[in-house]
Amino acid sequence: MTRILPISDQGAVEAALEVLRDGKPVALPTETVYGLAADATNPEAITSIYETKGRPRFNPLISHVADIEMAKAQVSFSPLAEQLAATFWPGPLTLVLPLSETSTIHPLATAGLSTAAVRMPEGFSRQLIAGFGRPLAAPSANRSGRVSPTTAQHVADDLGGRIDLILDGGRCRVGLESTILAVDGAQLRLLRPGGIPVELIEEATGKPVERSPSQSTGDSIIAPGMLASHYAPNAGVRLDATEVGPGEAVIRFGGERLAGEDNAIAVLDLSPRGDLREAAANLFDMLKRADATGATGIAVAPIPDQGLGEAINDRLRRAAAPRP
Ligand code: AMP
Ligand code: MG
């Protein structure tokens, strides 16, 4: 049985801490997507995340921290990394940094790498980590390869019966996973576009962010999780659509109609007013809703590629990629 508790419930934090202390995972809301969180220092707890998700173990996890001290106990910060944390934390930016000598993150969470991915989330999840006192490893709370959850109901649909507890904090504010940035001394490399647009990082640091070649092909050792096919609904996804084919549902943007839309199984608009932030927050939910119509395919209109559009288009390409 999976319990669903609203985060406003008096007993929610205590219930979550109990499950976490027991070395088991809890699904919880963050500002990005719902996470499947467990003690990053406990090998059984981490194993349980991989098993619940069906996630390949070579794909390391992000460790979530409550404050900068907790982060510094785990990884070493260059001055540039400090500046990034000061500017963007708490928030949807993950930094990949060298493990520190005092690190207690278990190698299962880092896939044995000499670096760890670390992030300070905002809101409820951060308070829970502070209460727990140790970092929480937390990938998205969905079965590996599926569309990420942005509501507690999405989590229940995908993982109901497989986990003890889902905390319900409503819809996620950002709706896309964090931006992952490798900070190598003074060098910045984008491992995954996400909730913080690259342009903002370049503006804040005055440094160019290198796009790693692995990003699109997905098989580099530096970012083992950048698998080409991911976020896959059941229906096939067709990108840059300008017209609607038979049996297709439509996901469009900015109120722009596609040719033949009147025959579509369903028409969803990521943001009728053309706002990329709104589009990001709606993306995963609309992919799931389009899929649930039973359409044979999902036709997706072109989405602008600047700002958050880069992350939206990254997720759409993975949703459309050939399945393994
Ligand atoms: P997820 O937990 O599904 O949001 O994915 C976390 C992503 O972070 C995965 O794609 C990993 O490949 C990536 N990641 C985690 N740790 C590292 C690391 N030490 N170096 C590079 N990438 C990492
Ligand atoms: Mg995920």
211-250: pLDDT as tens digits: 865 444 444 434 444 667 677 888 999 999 999 999 999 9
Q: Which residues line ligand 1 (CB under 6 A)?
A: 59-62, 96, 110, 113, 115-117, 139-140, 177, 180, 191, 222-226
Q: In a mutational test of the pocket of ligand 1, which residue from 36, 50, 59 has the highest number of ligand atoms less than 8 Å from its CB? A: 59
Closest CA to 284 of 232, 324, 226: 232
Closest CA to 238 of 255, 258, 218: 258
Nearest ligand for residue 215 CA: 1
pTM: 0.94
Q: Which of the four CATH numbers 3.40.50.10210, 3.20.20.80, 3.20.20.370, 3.90.870.10 does domain 3-217 have?
A: 3.90.870.10
Closest CA to 78 of 184, 211, 198, 222: 184
pLDDT in tens, the chain (324 residues): 899 999 999 999 999 999 999 999 999 999 999 999 999 999 999 999 999 999 988 899 999 999 999 999 999 999 999 999 999 999 999 999 999 999 999 999 999 999 999 999 999 999 999 999 999 999 999 999 999 999 999 999 999 999 999 999 999 999 999 999 999 989 999 999 999 999 999 999 999 999 865 444 444 434 444 667 677 888 999 999 999 999 999 999 999 999 999 999 999 999 999 999 999 999 999 999 999 999 999 999 999 999 999 999 999 999 999 877
The closest residue, in CA terms, to atom 12 on ligand 1 is: 225
The closest residue, in CA terms, to atom 10 on ligand 1 is: 225
In the three-class reduction of DSSP (H, G, I as helix; E, B as strand; rest coil), residue 267 is classed as strand
The closest residue, in CA terms, to atom 23 on ligand 1 is: 223
Task: Compute CA distances 132 → 22, 29, 69, whole Å.
Answer: 12, 16, 14
- Whether cis (ω within 30° of 0) applies to the bond prior to 90 is yes
Q: Who's near 110: CB < 8 A, 6+ residues apart?
A: 60, 61, 99, 116, 117
Query: Where does residue 99 rank: exposed (0-12), middle (13-18), buried (19+ CB within 10 A)?
Result: middle
What is the torsional sign of CA 90, 137, 104, 117? negative
Closest CA to 280 of 200, 173, 123, 181: 173
Q: Which atom belonging to ligand 1 lies closest to the Cα atom of 117?
A: 16
Distance 59 CA to ligand 1 centre (A): 6
pLDDT for res 227: 63
Question: Per CATH, which fold does 236-320 belong to?
Answer: Rossmann fold (3.40.50)
Q: Which helix (H) or strand (E) holds 252?
A: strand 248-252
What is the spatial distance between Cα 295 and Cα 299, in angstroms, rounded to a whole number?
10
The region, left, alpha or beta by phi > 0 then psi within -120 to 50, assigned to residue 217 is alpha
For residue 262, give the DSSP letter: G
Through-space distance between the first and last CA atoms of the chain, rounded to whole angstroms: 32
Distance 118 CA to ligand 1 centre (A): 9
Q: Which atom belonging to ligand 1 lies closest to the Cα atom of 226?
A: 10
Residue pair 50/162 in contact by the 8 Å Cβ criterion: no
**Which sequence spans correspond to the domains of the chain?**
3-217, 236-320
